[in-house]
DNA sequence: ATAATTGCAAATGCTTTGCTTGTGA
DNA sequence: TCACAAGCAAAGCATTTGCAATTAT
């Protein structure tokens, strides 16, 4: 769990620079889904010279290497999370912006079924629920 | 079906300018999901003086009035469609970009169920399937 | 050694906006 | 009439890129 990102980089022949190591570290330790700006801020606390351009480049590189996942939720900037966990979808709290991950096998199966019925092989999907907390 | 957009505008007190009428007309007659640039091109064939700024403003206005729906599919610009039909989701052909609409009540129900289980009232959702055509 | 990576600033692509002129109800 | 809308060009925002300097292997 800890800094598996560095290990993945080595496996994929991704050159490990100081900047990439820091970005990997910060993302490994992040429990949330930071956007590039936020990630840049966190990384800057460890090394104030890292440029936002490098963060953009690295995040893209990591995404292409299957190390990070990018999400474009409605009305927000692109957010990133570690791609280690098993597949899941997201519920976004429309009031706080909080993001909750969930898995639902029934929905997954139905998506596949719908695709096939339409004559398609399901390659990817995006499912986002937007909701507001029910007060008790 | 024909130009219901104009009627909706009147009902909502949206002032009907020539430009808006044309944009309404073009969207009414569109079977696909054009982006702003494409819409601007189509509208320009009818009136070459309409600016892209007006198209952007109108499309936003219509969206807020519930007349058009905006979609930000992965890797593309924002696309619009008439919001008249009943709710539906989309399957995007990853090879051709073609967009197929579908409805699946079971998935809808499960989404609601998932939200509630997490303590949320489902307000909105986004479901997109990305697939490639199965050749026979 | 040397091909890849960084930082910077400039460029990009889509979208919005300020301002002046034009116009629908 | 007159508040609202259009056209234009400039600004905004997130992201990408060219280039010279730096660095990992």
Same structural domain for residues A62 and A108? Answer: no
Please tell me whether residues A78 and A93 are part of one structural domain.
no
What range defines the domain where residue B73 resides? Answer: 4-82
Asked if the C-beta of B103 comes within 8 angstroms of chain A's C-beta atoms, the answer is no
Whether residue B93 is found in the same domain as residue B74: no
- Could you tell me if B70 and B115 lie in one domain? no
CATH of the domain at A113: 3.30.1490.190
Same domain for B69 and B103, yes or no, is no
Domain containing B70 — which CATH number? 1.10.10.10
Q: How confident is the model over A48-98, as pLDDT tens digits? A: 999 999 999 999 999 999 999 999 999 899 999 998 778 999 999 999 999
Of A72, A107, A124, the CB nearest to B130: A124
User: pLDDT, tens digit, for every residue of B61-82?
Assistant: 999 999 999 999 998 999 999 9
Q: Do β-strands B89-93 and B120-133 pair in parallel, antiparallel, or remain unpaired?
A: parallel
Per-residue pLDDT tens over the stretch A84-120: 778 999 999 999 999 999 999 999 999 999 999 999 9
| Same domain (yes/no): A41, A104 | no
Q: Which of A131, A132, A134, A136 to mutate to test the interface with B (most CBs of B within 10 A)?
A: A131
Residue A136 is assigned to a structural domain of this protein: no
Contacts 24+ apart (CB under 8 A), A97-106: A99/A32, A99/A33, A99/A73, A100/B118, A100/B120, A102/B114, A102/B118, A104/B110, A104/B114, A106/B110
pLDDT tens for B25-62 read 999 999 999 999 999 999 999 999 999 999 999 999 99
Task: Assess if residue A115 is contained within a domain.
Answer: yes
Q: Does residue A43 sit in the same domain as residue A69?
A: yes
Q: What is the DSSP string of A20-55?
A: HHHHHHHHHH--S--BHHHHHHHHHTT-TT--HHHH
The number of distinct structural domains making up chain B is 2
pLDDT of residue A3: 60
């Amino acid at each position: 769990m800890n800094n598996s990102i560095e290990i993945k980089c080595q496996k994929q022949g991704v050159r490990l620079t100081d900047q990439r190591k820091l970005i990997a570290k910060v993302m490994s330790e992040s429990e949330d889904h930071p956007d590039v700006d936020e990630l840049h801020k966190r990384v800057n606390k460890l090394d104030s010279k890292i440029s936002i351009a490098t963060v953009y480049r690295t995040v893209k590189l990591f995404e292409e290497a299957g190390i990070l996942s990018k999400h474009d939720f409605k009305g927000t900037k692109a957010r990133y999370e570690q791609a280690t966990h098993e597949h899941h979808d997201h519920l976004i709290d429309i009031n706080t912006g909080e993001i909750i991950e969930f898995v639902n096998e029934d929905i997954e199966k139905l998506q596949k079924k719908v695709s096939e019925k339409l004559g398609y092989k399901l390659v990817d999907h995006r499912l986002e629920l937007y909701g507001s907390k029910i007060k008790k």
